[in-house]
Structure 1
Amino acid sequence: MAEISTNKARTIIRKALLKGREMELNPLAVVVLDSGGHVKAFEREDGAAPGRFEIAQAKAYGAVMLGMAGTAQMARAEQQAYFMNAVNGIYGGRVIPVPGGVIVRDKRGAIIGAVGVTGDLSENDAACAAFGVEAANYSAEI
């Protein structure tokens, strides 16, 4: 199975942050996880709160571990809160079911990782993540 290279992970981060600056968003933090939920790369902009790593990681972790992007997780949490509570129990509270956790798919459609962005409104975080993923020639599922 293909994986996200460190070089591609850095491209995703660089482009996501560039999109955030273009949109004049609050300082962002971006993490890229591989298909097993392990950190490939992370960056936090100057001025972003120090706790942003954990939030970005939790957004991405839920996406890759469930195979469900943050937007779908949020809808599921609104419809079946007990399910997302159970998921968080299984994963030790490491899932934040909101937009900004974006699935990364290769050209064949296989999930090869996830990106988590945090720092602004969740919808803006997701837009920046998707921009970075697509700039690295992958498909983004928000």
Structure 2
Amino acid sequence: MATISLRRARTMIRKALEHGRAEELKPLCAVVLDAGGNLIAAEREDGASPGRFDIARAKAYGAVMLDMPGSAQMARAEAQAYFIACANGALGGGLVPVPGGVLVKDNKGITIGALGISGDASDNDAAAAKAGIEASGLAAEV
């Protein structure tokens, strides 16, 4: 099974933050987790509020634990709020089911981790994550 190297995680973060600056987004925080939900790398831009790390991590954690990007979690929460509430409880309250938690896929389409971004509107966070993942040579499921 493929994994995300520290080098590639740093590339994802750098490119995601560059995307955010190019699009004039608010300061961002980016967190890369492996397929088991373990931290590989994280960075919080100057000016990003302190809570952004926890939110970015929770976006990535929910994506990897449910194998479902944040946009799909949000749709599921709107259709079946009780499922997401129960999943959040089962996972220790660690989910933020909104866009910005983006799955990282290898060249076979297998989930190898997630990139969570927080700091701007959720759709903008997801776009920055997608840009970072694709710039690293991997596929993003937004």
Which range, TM-score by smaller chain? over 0.9
Aligned residues between the structures = 142
**What secondary structure does 1:33 align onto?**
strand
Alpha-carbon distance between aligned partners in 1 of 2:25 and 2:5, rounded to the nearest angstrom = 27
Alignment of 1:1-142 (within 5 A): 1-142=1-142
Q: Which amino acid aligns with 1:121?
A: A
Alpha-carbon distance between aligned partners in 1 of 2:99 and 2:88, rounded to the nearest angstrom = 16
CA deviations on 1:51-82 (whole Å, 9 max, x unpaired) are 11100000000000000000000000000000
Q: Which amino acid aligns with 2:134?
A: E
Give the alignment's TM-score, normalised by structure 1.
0.99
**What secondary structure does 2:113 align onto?**
strand
Q: Which amino acid aligns with 1:46?
A: D
Report the RMSD for the aligned CA atoms in angstroms: 0.3
**What secondary structure does 1:113 align onto?**
strand
**What secondary structure does 1:115 align onto?**
strand
Q: Please, which runs of 5 or more residues in structure 2 have no aligned partner?
A: none
CA deviations on 1:24-55 (whole Å, 9 max, x unpaired) are 00000000000000000000000000111100
Identical positions, percent: 63
> After TM superposition, where is structure 1 displaced by more than 2 Å over at least 4 residues in a row?
none
Q: Please, which runs of 5 or more residues in structure 1 have no aligned partner?
A: none
